[in-house]
């Protein structure tokens, strides 16, 4: 189909709109995989543990130290069934840290890294505890 002048005009308008968007966020950074820069202190460990236990339940145990490695965290069955004999469906749950940006302002979030879940994110109150994966301290 040959393009009419009208079509070309619409395409031009669309391009302008896209360019307009580009100018609104000229330096928007993409989200980055992150890790903890240092071993988490007691308060941060407490925060992470409470978040996971509040959202997944007390059957799950985590070691927040894992986030210092590659920014990933495995929540797994703490073994309560050994006391009751009631074998439960407690599949492992995975989390990861991610840095997002509003302009240059970073936000560090702990995200569920499994499909088909609606686990809320945890925003770490001090984004500076996170660094991009691969960044050397």
Q: Over 12-68, what HEC string results?
A: HHHHHHHHHHHHHCCCCCCCEEEEECCCCCHHHHHHHHHHHHHHHCCCEECCHHHHH
Using the rule CB under 8 A, is 66 a contact of other proteins? Answer: no
Distance CA 83, CA 101 (A): 46
Per CB under 8 A, 108 contacts other proteins: no
Does 76 bind other proteins (CB under 8 A)? Our answer is: yes
By CB under 8 A, tell whether 37 contacts other proteins. Answer: no
Least distance between other proteins and beta carbon 108 (Å): 11
Binding site for other proteins (CB under 8 A): 41-47, 49-51, 53, 56-59, 61-63, 65, 76-93, 109, 114-123, 125
């Amino acid at each position: 189909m040959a393009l009419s002048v009208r079509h070309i005009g619409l395409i031009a308008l669309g391009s302008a709109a896209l360019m307009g968007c580009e100018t609104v966020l000229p330096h928007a950074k993409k989200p980055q995989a992150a890790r903890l820069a240092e071993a988490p202190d007691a308060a941060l460990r407490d925060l992470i543990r409470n978040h996971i236990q509040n959202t997944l339940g007390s059957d799950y145990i985590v070691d927040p130290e894992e986030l210092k490695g590659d920014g990933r965290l495995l929540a797994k069955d703490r073994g309560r069934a050994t006391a009751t004999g009631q074998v439960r469906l407690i599949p492992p749950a995975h989390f990861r840290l991610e840095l997002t940006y509003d302009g240059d302002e970073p936000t560090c979030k702990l995200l569920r890294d499994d499909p088909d879940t609606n686990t809320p994110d945890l925003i770490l109150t001090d984004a500076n505890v996170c660094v991009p994966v691969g960044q050397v301290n």
